[in-house]
Amino acid sequence: MAYFCVKDREYLSLKLAYIREGRICKEKYVKDTENKRIGIKGIEITDGSEWRECSMKTDSMNLKVINRDVIKYIAMFTMLLNHIAHIRLFPLSPVWYEVFEDIGYFTAPVMCFFLVEGFQYTRSRKRYGLRLLLFAVISQIPYELAFRYGSMNMIFTLLLCFLILVAMEQIASTAVCTVVCTILVLVSGISDWAFVAPILTILLYQSAGNRKKMALSYGFVCFVFVLFNMGSKITEPGNPTPEIILSSAATGIGILAAGFTVLVLYNGRRIEYGKNVSKWFFYIFYPAHLLILYLLKTFVLI
């Protein structure tokens, strides 16, 4: 009998790997005095020849205190602040504009993480993809009315990320898979969070279960994002000014905060009550808040 000590994300990925290989998994739970499950003690896995026990050690300083729905609500709020700044709903000083904008960069990296997680554990990938397609279409008009960017909205970007995951899972040929994924990443150039969101999704999928690699993925994407913003803010040839360097570095705070939240604070659970309400609210909020912001900007706060 062999013993493996793993943490939450490693545990889930190991379990998923054994299930995909057709092995039998039997979980053991830690229960409280009322016989309610409060955690996973370990998992017994058999392939017909030997049993293996995968034990999870608990940490008295456990920081995993936030469930998935709470994190998504926080992400929606930070996105709202970012969009308020971008459409200039009301006058903001340069400092507050940047604060609102940078806080909003928390949202997309969180959505990429939960897209990868949802792709692995959803009951129906077909329905998952169709929901993304439906709300990408629904959101496009409110997105264009609010921003007038002439690009596709964030849910369309998430749809491309979803298709990348499908390609990585379904296409056996490495060369063909690479070509398809490259095309999808390039297509994201016409949408919100171009290139960055698809690349982060690929990195998170490839490193799923290894928190160190996932942390490095967030760090790498943060570095690229900061460089991109620095390049866009340099209007004249030459070295960037200290103000530009500081302003560009601040754009990465949201991405790092997102990585810390999902890798350190996320407990792997959903809200206990109102799961379906939360599920659909997340989809509806995106086009709804864009339309409301547009109406407020156009007809109320003139």
**Which helix (H) or strand (E) element contains residue 178?**
helix 174-187
Other residues' Cβ atoms within 10 Å of the Cβ of residue 79:
23
pLDDT at 129: 97
In this structure, are residues 109 and 254 in contact, taking their beta carbons and an 8 Å threshold? yes
Of 124-138, 166-180, 272-286, minimum mean pLDDT range? 272-286
In this structure, are residues 127 and 118 in contact, taking their beta carbons and an 8 Å threshold? no
Q: Which amino acid is at 107?
A: T
pLDDT at 241: 83
In angstroms, rounded to a whole number, what is the distance separating the alpha carbons of residues 97 and 278?
29
pLDDT tens column, 15-73 = 665 555 555 556 555 554 455 544 555 555 554 444 444 444 444 457 889 999 999 99
In this structure, are residues 195 and 189 in contact, taking their beta carbons and an 8 Å threshold? yes
* Bigger pLDDT: 299 vs 251: 251
Q: Which two tokens stand for residue 108?
A: 């997309």
Q: Give every strand in the sheet of 3-5, ordered side by side.
A: 3-5, 51-55, 37-46, 24-31
In angstroms, rounded to a whole number, what is the distance separating the alpha carbons of residues 90 and 77?
17
For the question of whether the overall pTM of this predicted structure is more than 0.85, the answer is no
- What DSSP state is assigned to residue 106? G
